[in-house]
Structure 1
Amino acid sequence: MTETLFRHGKKRFFDAVKFPRGFAKSGDFTLIEEDILVTYGETMLALERGDITPENAEEKHFTKVIVNPSKAKSKLEHTWLKYVA
């Protein structure tokens, strides 16, 4: 995975409601996408909800992508959009 300034979550992210067996075992995500969600998902969810504020340009761009998905550039952004779809 490429280097990112995006903050890691404080704990591993999971969604026991939609993906009770995990992201990778769902068949919807690749192993790389699963790693992105587990590692950064808590931060991405908090940014989406407005619970935390962006700390750098990459996180600020992510908040713009939430409002306008067509602006997604990074694998991280595309993975989150795939998750919320």
Structure 2
Amino acid sequence: MENIGAGKYNYYDDHNFPHGFRRSGVFTIREAEYLESHGHTLRELESKLRIPENEDEKHFQQAVCEGLESQSFAVKAWSKYKQAITARSQRIFLSRHDGNNSFLSTDF
């Protein structure tokens, strides 16, 4: 496993995963635990709010920011997280309602 520092607090994304990473059905248990414990650090490295402290953090920041392929568990887990929140925001819901009938109609 990479030498990326864990955050002081667990990372939660209540907006996109209101029931947590583990119960979302998107992540494995290992990925969910890693995102919870390291999510703040990974987010800060991606947004360049944190200066990388070692080679693993530098590699993560470079791979994520430049979109490079990597076999790193941290890069794969974070990329899966970013892809999941992007996919959730791009959902399109279609309705079969044609607009002619009123839902409030009292005619039975």
Normalised to the residue count of structure 2, the TM-score between the two structures is: 0.72
Whichever structure has more helix as a proportion of its residues is: 1
How far apart, in 1, do the equivalents of 2:68 and 2:45 lie?
A: 18
Choose which of 14, 19, 22 in structure 1 pairs with 2:20.
22
What is the rounded CA distance, in whole Å, between the counterparts of 1:26 and 1:15 in structure 2? 11
Q: How many residues align?
A: 83
Residue of structure 2 equivalent to 1:55:
53
Q: 1:31 and 1:21 mapped to 2: Cα distance?
A: 14
Contact 1:14 1:22 in 2 (8 A): yes
What is the percent sequence identity of the aligned residues? Answer: 34
Give the alignment of 1:1-80 within 5 angstroms.
2=1, 4-80=2-78
- Measure, in 2, the Cα distance between the counterparts of 1:54 and 1:70: 17
Contact kept in structure 2, 1:69 and 1:81, CA below 8 Å: no
Unaligned runs of 5+ residues in structure 2 are: 84-108
- Larger deviation, residues 52-61 vs 64-73: 64-73
Task: Specify the structure having the higher radius of gyration (Cα).
Answer: 2
When the two chains are superposed, the root-mean-square deviation of aligned CA atoms in Å is 1.1
Instruction: List per-residue Cα deviations over 1:12-62 (Å, max 9, x = no partner).
Output: 001000000000101000100001100111000011111110000000000
Q: Residues of 2 paired with 1:67 and 1:84: CA distance?
A: 12
